[in-house]
Amino acid sequence: MPKPVTKLLKAVCVALVLVWSLVPILMIVVSSFKADRDIFAAPPRLLFEPTFNNYLTLWNNWGDFFHGLVNSAIITIGATLLAVVTSALAGYAYSRFRSPTLAFSAFFLIFIRLIPPIVITLPLFPAVNVLRLNDTHILMIVLYATFFVSLGTLVMRTFMDQIPRELDEAAHIDGASRLQILRKVIFPLSAQGMVAVAVFVIVFAWNEFLFAFIFTTTNAKTAPLVISEMYGAVEGVEWGVLFAASTLQLLPVLIFVILAQKHLVAGLTAGATKG
Amino acid sequence: MSSLDLRRQSRVKSALPALFMVGPVQLMVISMIFVPVLFVAWLSFNESSFGQAPVFVGLQNYVQVLSDPYFWRAMGNTILVVLIVVHVELLLGLGVALLFASGVPMRPLLLAAVLAPYAVSEISAVVMWRYLFDLDVGFATQLLTALGLPALEWSINPFHGLVLIALLSIWLHLPFTFVILYAARLAIPNDLYEAAGVDGASAFQKFRRITLPLLMPAMLIAMLFRYIFAFRLFSEVWLMTGGGPARQTEVLAVYLYLEAFRYNAFGEAAATGWLLVLASLGLAVFYLRRLYKEMFAANA
């Protein structure tokens, strides 16, 4: 094929990839600044008079949504801290120690990833009711963290395998305790891995729907659940307000993913190739 | 003491502190996932609903589930969606990965664009795609009409509904498949292509003889993970169609949810749940076997 043709073909492919990835996102972000008559215009209007009315209505009528954002933030931060700390500890153990028990428990962690989350809601639902843990932040934090510690541990082990053992041994000879070696040598050097694990958990906990739907009702209700209620209003979905809510829920995590893309790629690669 | 001795010594002393360090993770996984799943197995052999003492019924729940036409409908839908989603995603992911590997302008920006859907929640994705395919004003519907194609009547026609669900599922998860394949493609040494070029290989021959075989392990891993995760599909279906019209677009996870939380049939739901677990394990059995052998070879 002559060069210009290949170049053109490539440009078309790049354009298609951009349209596919970005148009759905841009559409709701842009539409959140549209008045109803522009939202329901056919063909769609690219030029329109922007308005903040949807955001005002959201603020005035859907206080629940902002409560949901706060809940989502609390749960996301809690789950991330819990998952990162426990995964880092376990990842260190799997990276530095060998024993049949450990090998079996590492295998168990991979095995556990195969269990579909919806299955465990059956016994957990009555159990958390008895323990009066339903609709609490702590339950959601532990649930979300639990579903990511397997992957988190594998990712941390991969990153920690890259830290030379000689460093541990040198610190050991200098009289450092296990805990000191962890705190002063290993954790600082595996910060990249921790960020990679954090990216996974943050995106998951911020967006998760199934567990929030089953285990939260008012107190710990998360933002995605509130949006689904706005969307599920049988008659008269207020599309503009829905777009505004989706935009507010999406933008922080979208910006975060773009900023952390290097770590996301590193984490996905480490997690997938090593188990 | 040589460092070899030190290593050996730490290996012997290791077991205890190491078990403490893996303790928290194992405790979480065992108490929140493993014990509940065993409980589901027990539950699947009992007749029970909310607030009632369970009664042992043997395999009756399984018989009931397996003779329920709605279960088979959900099974068929799940298989259809999984097959479409995983394979289309793999092809698209491969295409985009090779496009990136061949050199694109403004790579970091383009990469950010391709990864963007990873940040989108299922509910927002449903809002986007439903608006895109709105029968009256949807951008995609109008595009289809302009091209002389029929509109996707996703709320009336169950097959169209499943296609839309598959489409939005592919959109949400393409970043994952793409990243795995792109990383694997970047790991192929350039020398191979240069050597092939010297030998006069065409672009297609390079793809057929170098790229494809060397990407195969990554493709298999990406495919396996996507099979397992696509199989659990719940939110997209629940939010898009709710399984309707007339229970025609239910998938297995939605079927399980309805059995448990709408019809209060915990026994049947538990049986469905175990069938889901077994199917996931079945999909992964070769992968698990290989990992098991590798791990014990390295650790024993």
Q: Is B258 on the interface with A (CB under 8 A)?
A: no
Tens of pLDDT along chain B (300 residues) come to 455 555 555 554 556 788 889 999 999 999 999 999 999 999 899 887 666 777 888 899 999 999 999 999 999 999 999 999 999 999 999 999 999 998 888 888 999 999 999 999 999 999 999 999 988 888 888 889 889 888 888 888 999 999 999 999 999 999 999 999 998 998 889 888 989 989 888 888 888 989 999 999 889 888 988 999 999 999 999 999 988 888 999 999 999 999 999 988 889 999 999 999 999 998 888 888 887 787 777 655
Choose among B7, B25, B299: nearest Cβ to A86: B25
Q: State which residue of chain B sits closest to A270, comparing Cα positions.
A: B180
The pLDDT score that the predictor gives to residue A272 is 67
Q: Is B142 on the interface with A (CB under 8 A)?
A: yes
**Inter-chain residue contact A28 with B124, CB threshold 8 Å:** yes
Q: State which residue of chain B sits closest to A106, comparing Cα positions.
A: B295
Q: State which residue of chain A sits closest to B129, comparing Cα positions.
A: A24
Residues 179-238 of B with CB under 8 A from A: 179-180, 182-183, 218, 221-222, 225, 228, 231-232, 234-235, 238
Domain ranges of chain A: 53-273
The pLDDT score that the predictor gives to residue A235 is 56
Residue B260: count other Cβ atoms within 10 Å of its Cβ. Answer: 24
**Inter-chain residue contact A97 with B37, CB threshold 8 Å:** no
Residue B92: count other Cβ atoms within 10 Å of its Cβ. Answer: 18
**Inter-chain residue contact A28 with B298, CB threshold 8 Å:** no
- Low-confidence stretches of chain A (pLDDT < 70) are 1-2, 234-235, 272-275
The pLDDT score that the predictor gives to residue A141 is 97
DSSP B58-116: TTHHHHHHHT-HHHHHHHHHHHHHHHHHHHHHHHHHHHHHHHHHT--TTHHHHHHHHHG
pLDDT tens digits, A243-266: 999 999 999 999 999 999 888 888
In CATH, what is the architecture of B70-299?
Orthogonal Bundle (1.10)
* Contacts (Cβ under 8 Å, ≥6 apart) of B114: A17, A21, B96, B100, B174, B175, B178
Smallest Cα distance from B191 to chain A, Å: 23
Q: State which residue of chain B sits closest to A257, comparing Cα positions.
A: B119
**Inter-chain residue contact B221 with A272, CB threshold 8 Å:** yes
The pLDDT score that the predictor gives to residue B50 is 63
Choose among A122, A166, A268: nearest Cβ to B273: A122
Choose among A31, A207, A265: nearest Cβ to B121: A207
Domain ranges of chain B: 70-299
**Inter-chain residue contact B218 with A273, CB threshold 8 Å:** yes
Smallest Cα distance from B17 to chain A, Å: 8
From the candidate CATH numbers 3.40.630.40, 1.20.210.10, 3.30.460.10, 1.10.3720.10, the one assigned to the domain spanning A53-273? 1.10.3720.10
Choose among B15, B96, B171: nearest Cβ to A99: B15
Q: State which residue of chain B sits closest to A228, comparing Cα positions.
A: B123
**Inter-chain residue contact B179 with A43, CB threshold 8 Å:** no
* Contacts (Cβ under 8 Å, ≥6 apart) of B241: B154, B155, B161, B165, B249
Q: State which residue of chain B sits closest to A128, comparing Cα positions.
A: B32
Whole-angstrom Cα distance, residue B214 to residue B188? 7
Residue A66: count other Cβ atoms within 10 Å of its Cβ. Answer: 15
**Interface predicted TM-score (ipTM):** 0.91
The pLDDT score that the predictor gives to residue B150 is 85
pLDDT tens digits, A75-119: 999 999 999 999 999 999 999 888 888 888 988 998 898 899 999
Chain A neighbors of B294, CB-CB under 8 A? none
Test the B interface: residue of A1, A8, A17 with most B CBs within 10 Å: A17
Q: State which residue of chain A sits closest to B112, comparing Cα positions.
A: A258
Q: Is B98 on the interface with A (CB under 8 A)?
A: no
Which whole-number Å values give the CA distances from A249 to A14, A98, A229, A235, A242, in the listed order?
28, 44, 14, 23, 11
Chain B neighbors of A265, CB-CB under 8 A? 115, 179, 182-183
Choose among A112, A119, A264: nearest Cβ to B29: A112
The pLDDT score that the predictor gives to residue A75 is 97
Test the B interface: residue of A20, A85, A115 with most B CBs within 10 Å: A115
Choose among B39, B124, B299: nearest Cβ to A98: B299
Let me know: does B277 contact A116? Beta carbons within 8 Å.
yes
Test the B interface: residue of A26, A37, A48, A97 with most B CBs within 10 Å: A97
**Inter-chain residue contact B110 with A272, CB threshold 8 Å:** no
Choose among B119, B176, B273: nearest Cβ to A250: B119
DSSP chain A: --HHHHHHHHHHHHHHHHHHHHHHHHHHHHHTTS-HHHHT-SSPPSS-----HHHHHHHHH-HHHHHHHHHHHHHHHHHHHHHHHHHHHHHHHHHH---HHHHHHHHHHHHHTTS-HHHHHHHHHHHHHHTT-TT-HHHHHHHHHHHHHHHHHHHHHHHHHTS-HHHHHHHHHTT--HHHIIIIIIHHHTHHHHHHHHHHHHHHHHH--HHHHHH-SSTT--HHHHHHHHHH-SS---HHHHHHHHHHHHHHHHHHHHHTHHHHHHHHHHHHHT-
Q: State which residue of chain B sits closest to A232, comparing Cα positions.
A: B239
The pLDDT score that the predictor gives to residue B12 is 47
Q: State which residue of chain A sits closest to B287, comparing Cα positions.
A: A275
Q: Is B2 on the interface with A (CB under 8 A)?
A: no
